[in-house]
Structure 1
Amino acid sequence: MLTRFVKIVAVILCTFGWASAAIAESPEAMPERLRLGIVVAADETARERVEPFRLAMENIVDLPVDLFLLSTLGDAIESIVDGKIDYVRLSPSAYAAAHRICECVEPLVTAGPDDFPARYYAILVSRRGSQNTSLEALKGTRLAVGHKHAVAAYRVPLANLAADGVNARAHFQTLVEVQNPLDGLRAILDGRVQAALAWSSLAGEAKNGFTAGTLNDYYVSGAKGFSELEIVWRSPPIPYSAHVVAKNLPDALKRRLRAGLMDLRREAPDAYLAIEPDLPGGFEPVVHADYRPVLRTYEDAFAKVLARD
């Protein structure tokens, strides 16, 4: 009986020892440093300007943070994909492009312009009160679009209309390229087209054209005809920015980063504005699926509708 008891205890101790060793080995090793990339274009004061953000990042991750200045978004995509940096702020489209290349990136937060949700929408606008107030009614009419690289006035709406079952090239008689989304609204009102692609925050008062976007710009301009415009279709919501990390960073570090960034506007407003001067509304958490409307623009299924003659 005693021998059997000793054997049982030995098995328990052995099992416990194995489990303890597994637990001890399971935490991911933290990097010695965090490599922060910043797109600076031609800003010669960039290093000094973003220094408050770099210092705040060191406090958040409790690691030295090295700053890498990058000339373009293309350089930023290449650097994060090639593993030369660990963290970078990208546009939604640049994040989608990076993910298309290697699926090795992960978004943590996005920033917003105000206290409304940090999202905007691609929209399709027509004339209010006319017979063209639905997508079906607009079939066979002329649609104003932006140039082929325009995210909100071409790529996102055409891809997401196609995802909704509407191939813009087949649905509309012709796609008319305009200089900008505001020109598209003018084209509706002067009869050059019957619908136009634009963007909007869809937050705040509709009577003022919402808080931001093409309709708001037109309202603020004081031009005639604003009340005659109506939104016929909207895309899914799109985050304004993408603060992205390498997916292979330890999960604990990514959680620490996201939590610290969420508090940054309150805890260190100068550091927040150093990295998001044009979007002062603060950070919100995001996940990969939040960028679905933009990710579609890089999918083979929508390449044909996005191709320009």
Structure 2
Amino acid sequence: MPAKILVLAVLPLLLSFLATLAQAQQESGMPDRLRLGVVVAADEAARERVEPFRLALEDVADMPVDLFLMDTMADAIEALAADRIDYARLSPSGYAAVHQLCACIEPLVTAAPDDFPARFYAILVAKRNGEKNTLADLKGTRLAVGGTHAVTGYRVPLTNLAADGINARAHFSALVEVQDPVEGLRAILDGRVQASLAWSTLAGEAKNGYTAGTLNDFYVAGGRGFNDLEIVWRSPPIPYSAHSLRKDLPDELKRRIRAGLMDLRREAPDAYLAIEPDLPGGFEPVVHGDFRPVLRTFEEEYVTLLNPQGR
């Protein structure tokens, strides 16, 4: 056989061998098992409830999945940082906390409550005054806020207002703590404060207070004066949840799991609802930067601002 013909005959086999070798090298770092952590609080039936998701994750990851039940979000945060689990469904603040501890996780998807984008916002609300209010108009007035641990009622808005150039402690004459965001709206209408922090999906009909959030709660409760309220400021969008994997897992496994999760609501709705019972709208992909509004709350430059004594 002439040498040229021999090379042409062998070339496809060589290329196939090299592709197989590259794939084997890529997957050589695959773990034998995946460790799934799930926060269950006081749910005594959690193991049975989560089982459909664990089984679906085994199919997606193509490997055994071990389930670890966590009492609190803090337990899941610690377990991820200590490399005792590989995967967890975190709150946005939980994701930011793990990143602050070790920068060792990567978000894959977030869940949606409905068919609108899977994001919500911290907002600042004031009373209409004939023309649209601005933050400048509110300088020197009283602002209703939540407790110091409230994500959308305190931490996210204060840090993201600061990122926009507004130090709330200097801009407003007083930060007045209220029992909950709806009480903050009532405080605007009865004159105790001139603005209040709240949250909203900002999706759907504005005339109904949008699909969910403080304005919607006030509207549904028949709050008098609803039409006298307006949104003056909004934070960047915030994902509802963060299904996250440790960064040191192979990229091929991350891609495989993300793709499987994206199809989960359609392919296995029972498995989807087992892990996201309160957010039935399906998964959307996310990246680290999507959590920037919450990540800021852990950054050193904002620590003093979030301190009740900060100035």
Instruction: Identify the TM-score tier after normalising by the shorter chain.
Output: over 0.9
Residues 71-82 of structure 1 aligned to structure 2 (within 5 Å): 71-82=71-82
Q: Measure the CA separation in 1 of the matches of 2:99 and 2:308.
A: 23
- Indicate yes or no: 2:51 matched with 1:54: no
Match of 2:10 in 1: none
Q: Measure the CA separation in 2 of the matches of 1:104 and 1:262.
A: 23
Residues 17-166 of structure 1 aligned to structure 2 (within 5 Å): 23=22, 25-129=25-129, 133-166=133-166
Match of 2:280 in 1: 280
The one-letter code matched in structure 1 to 2:303 is A
Q: Deviations over 1:153-183 (max 9, x none)?
A: 0000000000000000000000000000000
Structure 1 contact 132–138 (Cα < 8 Å) conserved:
no
Q: Deviations over 1:49-91 (max 9, x none)?
A: 0000001101111111100001100100000111100100010
The one-letter code matched in structure 1 to 2:140 is G
Moved over 3 A (4+): 20-28
Give the CA deviation at 1:129: 2.4
Q: Measure the CA separation in 2 of the matches of 1:209 and 1:62.
A: 44
Give the CA deviation at 1:42: 0.9
For these two proteins, the number of residue pairs brought into alignment is 295
Structure 1 contact 81–102 (Cα < 8 Å) conserved:
yes
Q: Which runs of 5+ in 1 are unaligned?
A: 1-15
Q: Which runs of 5+ in 2 are unaligned?
A: 1-13
User: What TM-score do the two structures reach when normalised by structure 1?
Assistant: 0.92
Q: Deviations over 1:239-280 (max 9, x none)?
A: 001101101110000000000000000111111001000000
Match of 1:248 in 2: 248
Match of 1:214 in 2: 214
SS at match of 2:138: coil
Give the CA deviation at 1:25: 3.6
User: What TM-score do the two structures reach when normalised by structure 2?
Assistant: 0.91
SS at match of 1:37: strand
The one-letter code matched in structure 2 to 1:214 is T
Q: Measure the CA separation in 2 of the matches of 1:131 and 1:143.
A: 20
Give the CA deviation at 1:123: 0.1
- Indicate yes or no: 2:234 matched with 1:234: yes
Q: What is the RMSD computed on CA atoms of the aligned residues?
A: 1.9
Q: Measure the CA separation in 1 of the matches of 2:179 and 2:237.
A: 24
Give the CA deviation at 1:106: 0.7
Give the CA deviation at 1:305: 1.1
Give the CA deviation at 1:229: 0.2
SS at match of 1:36: strand
Residues 183-194 of structure 1 aligned to structure 2 (within 5 Å): 183-194=183-194
Q: Measure the CA separation in 2 of the matches of 1:139 and 1:180.
A: 23
Q: Measure the CA separation in 1 of the matches of 2:308 and 2:43.
A: 33
